[in-house]
Structure 1
Amino acid sequence: MGAPALKVVVIGAGMGGLSAAIRLAHAGFEVQVVDRAPVPGGKMRTMATDAGPVDAGPTVMTLRPVFEELFAGVGARLSDYVTLHREEVLARHWWPDGSTLDLFAEREASAAAVGAFAGAGAEHEFRAFCARAERLFRAFEGPMMLAGTPSQGALTRHVLTHPRLILDMAPHRSLARALAAQFTDRRLAQLFGRFATYVGGSPFGSPAILGLIWHAEERGVWRVEGGMHRLARGLEKLAVDKGVRFTFGKAANRIEMQAGRVAAVHLEDGTRLPAETVVFNGDPAALGAGLLGEALRDTLPPDATHPRSLSAYVWSFAAVPHGPELAFHNVFFCNDPHTEFDPIAKGHMPEDGTLYICAQDRGTGRTPQGLERFEIIMNGPPQSNGAEPSEQEKQTCRTRTFDTLARFGLTFDPRPGTEWLTTPRQFAKLFPASEGSLYGRSPHGLTASLKKPTARTKIRGLYLAGGGAHPGAGIPMATLSGRHAAEAILTDRAST
């Protein structure tokens, strides 16, 4: 008889935890996933409506090869578990002055649209920006995103051997300042500045290198048939097919230590799950907060989890829309980004914020009739106080959201009540120790990405996965974090 399989407990069924569980089970480990929520997905949650479940978390899926590699790596096919549709229109954008702009999955189509929108000079600037974003993405994809433990020294050497990257990075400029220098039309600078919010930052505080996010989106945006939560369900099914066991609706409240390494995971109902290895797919700040035991408080340095990234005010509802023709992804910009990000920096709701709308029942070639599902996101500040939001705060958000959209001519029947809203304080309760932050550590500062914790911790047998760990926030990055955790476990297991 062979040696018994190594027991692994994964705490959290988000994309990072699911990704790690699938890979480890395929490698022959005995894997159990536990989650305090009733369903998988982590922040990829839904709310029930008369039109069906509506997404209340991430909505943008990019970098499809990351998911194809996960499935192919364990002998499966992504298309057998999830149905994806490529969107021809990446996003539709509106400004208060009445101007609109669609960006497309093909660069030539986007360039032509930008030219029609803002002139030949703007088209030339857009093409230069695309080339710059592509160079940055290709340069940092390998040594940063795909590397399990990136180092500042290695990145510095890489940049020095490709000196053009120094100009592209604009290391001493914020994303907002860099875009202001690249685009004459302030609307285009505002549009591409919003990519900082994809990883929880303000364009005024995030480094210029985050412009590379545009290239990830330009490579393709995918709509998950049935809603984004179907992606999590697809990974869950694959995990079950690989022998992973799931326990939902029970929170882990302690990681037991013996002889300086992890020995078991204790659940809130008293269940003890023995484990030689634990993958924590929650906010890494929970370790420092002592939520998994006092012995783990010093696992990470404080700057690995703080300062915190943005939170959000999220509406998820069904209604009949009236007004402009929506695409699947839509952005309604405020007049001045400072009215959005200056209040957030002071811990307040935006006075006049940009609003993102996912029209979940739309997409390329689809214009439904009647009741539709919508998710609306307005950026907000993290909240260390997890107290219930006041009714005044929720009503203020309702007024600012739907009155703003009404000025663009977009209304909803019925206008949603505050029961369809999730606030930063509510996110703080949903995800312990997160302070409502949806993206982990703040991306502000040139070296912020290097401060995120990697998969390995100083605790033997304890590994991290999820958007709060390297390589960071977003569905593809969280999925990659699970790959990094699994590879680290396999490497460490082999070395011992």
Structure 2
Amino acid sequence: MNEHVVVIGAGIGGLVSAALLAARGCDVTVVEAGAGPGGKLRSVMVDGQAIDGGPTVFTMRGVFADIFARCGATLEDHVTMHPATILARHAWGADRLDLFADPAASEAAIGEFAGARAALGYRAFRAEAKRIFDALDRPFLRRTNTDPITLGWRMGLRGFSDYCTLRPYTSLWRALDGYFEDPRLRQLFGRYATYCGSSPFDCPATLMLIAHVEASGVWLIEGGMHRLAQALETLGRRNGVCFRYGAPVSEIAVERGRASGVVLRTGERIAAGAVVCNADPSAIGAGRFGAAARRATTAVPLRRRSLGAMVWTGHARVHGFPLVRHNVFFSDDYAAEFVALAQGRLAGAPSVYICAQDRDGPDHAPAGDTERVQIIVNAPPLGDVSPITPAEIATCTRHMLERVWQSGLSLELAPSTVLTTPGGFETLFPSTGGALYGPASHGWAASFRRQGSRTRIPGLYCAGGSTHPGAGVPMAALSGRLAVECLLSDRASTLRSVRVAMPGGISMRPAQTVPTA
């Protein structure tokens, strides 16, 4: 079998796959259409400075520590980081609430903000979120995707009570009613649904586990989140991975029913024994990688896409509101915001997220007149069918500025600010329409429908935030690890099935690379 593996895409899932495969002795080539690593974990150069233009929250640090260890390195030697004291600052007009790394401090702040019953509700909510996360971490998040029956089998008798109370049939928004009477707190904790591009009114209450992930620790990476992608690239190169940038793939080659390599847009063919695709799986099913590979996955219909976004990246002058690293300014009518998005419209009064990338603490204001910011407003994922017009962009920008102004923040964006719309994200990540999180997590079965590591074509695997176990930087990393485990397990199984003739009539069984998943 050809020991060469081609990885399409240098997003987090692809970078992790490449590094782990190389550490196991595989010959790996990463082909990436862009100019550098990161994928959605991208940086945008504005006025000569790199500014994070993708994910900004780093959690589940242990996932990456384990990946670096498997590659014979340590995370701390490649990335400098420190824990955030304040997880996020939230605002509703003049009202303000911080959540802290210390859960006792968060509970006290909630009690002061909304009363003693709210503090008790938060304590109960936090315990429930932890219970659900602990129940699903190993049998679901760290295993290849499955069906409900197999999940129950994996959880076993000891986990049966947890299996029966994962709350897949109750919406997150409805579940929050049981913990918080204050609608502002339901808004705050419902927002975690948007971490995977979903609506809190339509996603299952199971997703409250995201709140536990963030409450378990947020880390600030020195130099920006894109440094993590650079560190993973360095890790791969150290173990022999060949990176080819500016090399878009036009076709995944299929011979005798299995993946056999890729064809670049230039016509160059790169043979391989296996291919890991870090592009959105929907792109394969939509035929972006050729007709032969199309049957490997299924294209995601528009109605199942996750949220898109309007993302402003640049420098700004700010006055008034005391920004921290992560800030959320909530709309007055959360339900109306998601109704608009579901109808394919930008919300008239959107919630706004601001990452102030030069602020490491509550009292740390950057020196100078301007600072680096990334601003996000949710948008419908229709960049391929209904691009946002200049008039709509102007209106959305005005609504965004009005929203933060209501909380006392004066925000003046520099003329050099870069705005990426769903249409821009469609260009960067084809066949998504600008949906940044793959399929939305709406309905009880959504997590089971997400594309898994294996595809319908042997030798072709998927990795990335649009695949199992889900969206987000640590989930994308886990997807890369799962793709590697499946690939090596399948290779070992194939080798065991081939009996090699030896002199004297003796056949030899090759060593198993990894335990079969």
Structure 2 length normalisation: TM-score?
Answer: 0.92
Q: d(CA) in 2 for partners of 1:327 and 1:101?
A: 12
Cα deviation, 1:270-307, whole Å, max 9, x if unaligned, reads: 21111111000000001111110111222224569971
Aligned to 1:293: 290
Q: Distance in 1 between matches of 2:240 and 2:319?
A: 48
Deviation at 1:185, TM superposition (A): 1.0
Pick closer, same or farther for the CA change 1:203–1:259 going to 2, 3 Å.
same
Contact 1:16–1:281 (8 Å) recurs in 2: yes
Match of 2:423 among 422, 425, 428: 425
Judged with a 3 Å threshold, the aligned counterparts in structure 2 of structure 1 residues 178 and 417 are, in CA distance, closer, same or farther, namely farther
Which residue of the partner structure matches residue 156 of structure 1? Answer: 152
- Pair 1:234 & 2:231 matched: yes
Shift in alpha-carbon separation, 1:358–1:83, aligned structure 2, 3 A: same
Matched residues, number = 491
> Following the alignment from structure 1 to structure 2, what is the Cα–Cα distance between the partners of residues 327 and 319?
14
1:61-95 CA distances to partner (integer Å, 9 max, x unpaired)?
A: 10000000000111100011111111010001111
Q: Which runs of 5+ in 1 are unaligned?
A: none
Root mean square deviation of aligned Cα: 1.8
1:360 aligns with 2:363: no
Q: How much does 1:330 deviate?
A: 0.6
Q: 2:103 matched to 1:104? A: no
- Name the counterpart of 1:181: 178
Secondary structure of 1:453's aligned partner: coil
C-alpha distance in structure 1 between counterparts of 2:176 and 2:109, whole Å: 19
Q: 2:476 — aligned with what?
A: 478
Mapping of residues 378-397 of structure 1, within 5 Å: 378-383=377-382, 385=384, 389-397=388-396
Query: Residue in 1 aligned with 2:25?
Result: 28
Bigger mean CA offset, 167-176 vs 421-430: 167-176
> 1:168: how far off?
4.9
Q: Name the CA shift for 1:396/1:471 in 2 (closer, same or farther; >3 Å).
A: same
The one-letter code sitting in structure 2 at the alignment partner of 1:84 is: M
**How far apart, in 2, do the equivalents of 1:386 and 1:35 lie?**
25
When structure 1 is superposed on structure 2, of 16-25 and 365-374 the one drifting more is 365-374
Task: Read off the aligned partner of 2:445 and give its amino acid letter.
Answer: T
Query: How big is each residue's C-alpha offset from its partner over 1:79-129, in whole Å with a ceiling of 9 and x where there is no partner?
Result: 111111110100011112x21111111111111111111111111110000
Deviation track 1:161-210 (CA, whole Å, cap 9, x = no partner) reads 54653675333321111112221111111100000000010001110110
The question of 1:308 aligning with 2:337 is answered no
The percentage of counterpart residues that share the same residue type is: 46
Describe the shift of the 1:63–1:300 C-alpha distance in structure 2 as closer, same or farther (beyond 3 A): same
- Confirm or deny: 8 A CA contact 1:5 1:30 kept in the other structure: no
Q: 1:7–1:306: structure 2 CA closer, same or farther, 3 Å change rule?
A: farther
Corresponding residue of 1:225:
222
Structure 1 position 5, deviation (Å): 6.8
Which segment drifts farther, 462-471 or 154-163? 154-163
- Tell me which amino acid in the other structure corresponds to 2:433: E
Q: Are 2:68 and 1:81 equivalent residues in the alignment? A: no
Give the residue type in structure 2 aligned to 1:329: H
TM-score of the two chains, using structure 1 as the length reference? 0.95
Task: Identify if the C-alpha distance between structure 1 residues 166 and 143 changes in structure 2 by more than 3 Å, giving closer, same or farther.
Answer: closer
Please, which runs of 5 or more residues in structure 2 have no aligned partner? 495-517
Q: SS state of the match for residue 182, structure 1? A: coil
- Report what 1:494 is aligned to: 492
Q: 1:168 to 1:125 in 2, by over 3 A?
A: farther
